[in-house]
Structure 1
Amino acid sequence: MSVDYKLYDLGDFRLQRGATLRGAKLAYKTFGTLSPAKDNAIVYPTWYSGQHPDNEWLIGKGMALDPDKYFIVIPNMLGNGLSSSPSNTPEPYNASRFPQITAYDNVRAQHQLVTEHFGITKLPLVTGWSMGALQTFHWGAMYPDMVERIAPFCGSAKCSRHNFVFLEGVKAALTADAAFNNGWYGDKKPEKGLRAMARVYAGWGFSQAFYRQELDLKALGYSSLEDFLVAFWEGFFLPKDANNLLTMLWTWQNGDISDNELYNGDFRKALGAIKAKAYVMPGRTDLYFPPEDSEFEVAHMPNAKLIVFESVWGHFAGGPGTSPVDVKFLDEKLKELLNS
């Protein structure tokens, strides 16, 4: 089977929570050509359960992320099944023994790829959706002198308490399946748990207005609400590995740009350290990341602007190419930011 990505060897990678991933791998894909001056690179991290192909809808000729102009790097999150993950790591750190990964770990690994492998010292832009936005905020706070612009969309710099609680519901649904067997399910995947998780998620990914307007039928073309829940949502999660999903879920719940030795838990200080020109873009009806959280972030960042998706598509206003109107809006804002 041919693969369209490369693996970068991180070596023995020490994690923030104390474990070491030996022979750790970071999967990535690039678009475009790195300029001789190495000054045209954009980092575009993946989101919860997503892999690099799920990011490609925002890249194209004539778009803000134009491979004719920029060298675009999509690094796959640790735990997503392509980079080092429970599903592909040898014993003893396999399956549910896979260690806890923070967003800080992810961005440190990405920084190693960008600086040591590509020799890049300046980034015109880091951008990402959802957990990609979490990593984008981390880039801004961890490497303020390197990152010139950030555009986190439909995501936050710190997992809110309400968001944490939502994810507890997702986790409980997945792990309640007896077949899950504390993560030691082998080849027999916890199908009931994955389907239950999908049902919990379905009430959060799109807004009340989305369902009220029946956009699952009228815009996405499903034949009934049940068809949408099975074909879209269950179909989305069933191919994914349960331990991988739980690893990324833990990363999400513990997302916090100040949870490191740079800021020692001082969230305002971490936000204040982000020098990059920032477009922080929440969705008006996003149930995970409401604009109020973004307002707080922008108020404490020195060079940030709040730009809201006035959309009924909820969290999916920002991803993965689902709402054409919102894609166009996002692309225009990214062009504006890159040209500033």
Structure 2
Amino acid sequence: MNATAVAQRTQHPLGNLPLACGHTLPEAQLTYLQIGELNAQRSNLILVPTSYGARPEDLAWLAGPVLDPERWCIVIAGMFGNGASSSPSHGAMGLAEQGWVVSHRDNVAAQRQLLAEVFGVERLPLIYGWSMGAQQAYQWAVEHPEAVERICCVCGTARTTPHNRLFLLSLRQALTADRHWNGSGFNAPPEQGLRTYALIYASWAASQPFFRSLAEPVEDHVEQHWLPHYQRHDPRDLIAMLDTWLA
């Protein structure tokens, strides 16, 4: 089955959403992808929160090899800051420099609203999350244990570790040290900052055996395969997601 061919991508309005940081996100939007059909008992919905830098369609590959769309209604929910759901690039959300930090409590609140308003679902058989998606699954289980039967957390921690925090701070510094950073955004694309950012990310995310196996120089590999993935994002969105991760 070609799961992506039957996926229905939708943007759901949440209204004005109060955030844990004290700000209210005006006319908040949550973008999600639905693969598979909800059954009559509304008991087969699996929630997949997105990971860092991912948009819902980036995780559609899970339908089939990991989650059976013939059995499950798979809802992939984009977290705030990813450029698909409400993000700084939309103009309604600021950065930590202005006191804006979206927490996973905010992402979970938005997802709960989505599930109630669109699907009429209050209890989930499974939340599947990778990396920051796993963090959101943990948040669901801690905050709403009555609503979650199971969580499957892959490559994610319930609390960001000091070592992981160092990685995130180095990424943030790579962007904000760019000459186009103005203290609250960018006056022009931070091309040098993004290249430094991509080099840092690649050095942490892939292993020594992986880099030893490359046919091309590591600099070329990062330029061709890692940099384009992050260039598609507004750099303010990359920072906003880092701040959520740091929080």
Q: Same fold (TM over 0.5)?
A: yes
Hey, what does 1:285 align to over in structure 2? Answer: none
State how 1:278-317 maps to structure 2 within 5 Å: none
Distance 2:218 2:194 in 1: 19
- Deviations along 1:106-141, one digit per CA (max 9) or x if unpaired, are 011101111232111221110111101111111111
Does the Cα contact within 8 Å between 1:195 and 1:237 map onto a contact in 2?
Answer: no
Displacement of 1:178 in angstroms is 0.8
Does the Cα contact within 8 Å between 1:123 and 1:148 map onto a contact in 2?
Answer: yes
- Deviations along 1:266-318, one digit per CA (max 9) or x if unpaired, are xxxxxxxxxxxxxxxxxxxxxxxxxxxxxxxxxxxxxxxxxxxxxxxxxxxxx
State how 1:125-274 maps to structure 2 within 5 Å: 125-186=126-187, 188-212=188-212, 214=213, 216-217=214-215, 223-254=216-247
Query: In the superposition, relative to structure 1, how do residues 83 and 115 fare at CA in structure 2: closer, same or farther (>3 Å)?
Result: same
Displacement of 1:196 in angstroms is 0.9
> Residue 89 of structure 2 aligns to a residue in which SS?
coil
Hey, what does 1:26 align to over in structure 2? Answer: 30
Distance 1:59 1:18 in 2: 37
> Residue 126 of structure 1 aligns to a residue in which SS?
strand
Please point out which of 14, 17, 20 is paired with 2:21: 17
- Tell whether 2:90 aligns with 1:88: yes
- Tell whether 2:67 aligns with 1:74: no
Displacement of 1:29 in angstroms is 1.0
Q: Which runs of 5+ in 1 are unaligned?
A: 218-222, 255-340
> Residue 181 of structure 1 aligns to a residue in which SS?
coil
Q: Which runs of 5+ in 2 are unaligned?
A: 1-6
Hey, what does 1:293 align to over in structure 2? Answer: none
- Give 2:102's aligned amino acid: I
What is the TM-score normalised by the length of structure 2? 0.91
Query: In the superposition, relative to structure 1, how do residues 19 and 100 fare at CA in structure 2: closer, same or farther (>3 Å)?
Result: same
Displacement of 1:202 in angstroms is 1.3
Hey, what does 1:40 align to over in structure 2? Answer: 44
Hey, what does 1:54 align to over in structure 2? Answer: 58
Displacement of 1:191 in angstroms is 1.1
Does the Cα contact within 8 Å between 1:49 and 1:80 map onto a contact in 2?
Answer: yes
Does the Cα contact within 8 Å between 1:183 and 1:242 map onto a contact in 2?
Answer: no
Does the Cα contact within 8 Å between 1:42 and 1:73 map onto a contact in 2?
Answer: yes
Aligned length, in residue pairs = 240
Does the Cα contact within 8 Å between 1:86 and 1:97 map onto a contact in 2?
Answer: no
Does the Cα contact within 8 Å between 1:180 and 1:189 map onto a contact in 2?
Answer: no
Displacement of 1:9 in angstroms is 1.2
Displacement of 1:98 in angstroms is 7.9
Query: In the superposition, relative to structure 1, how do residues 118 and 166 fare at CA in structure 2: closer, same or farther (>3 Å)?
Result: same
- Give 1:110's aligned amino acid: Q
- Deviations along 1:255-276, one digit per CA (max 9) or x if unpaired, are xxxxxxxxxxxxxxxxxxxxxx
Does the Cα contact within 8 Å between 2:21 and 2:99 map onto a contact in 1?
Answer: no
Distance 1:192 1:226 in 2: 14
Hey, what does 1:119 align to over in structure 2? Answer: 120
Displacement of 1:81 in angstroms is 0.5
- Deviations along 1:315-340, one digit per CA (max 9) or x if unpaired, are xxxxxxxxxxxxxxxxxxxxxxxxxx
**Larger Cα Rg: Structure 1 or Structure 2?**
1
Hey, what does 1:109 align to over in structure 2? Answer: 110
Does the Cα contact within 8 Å between 1:86 and 1:98 map onto a contact in 2?
Answer: no
Q: Give identity over the alignment, percent.
A: 40
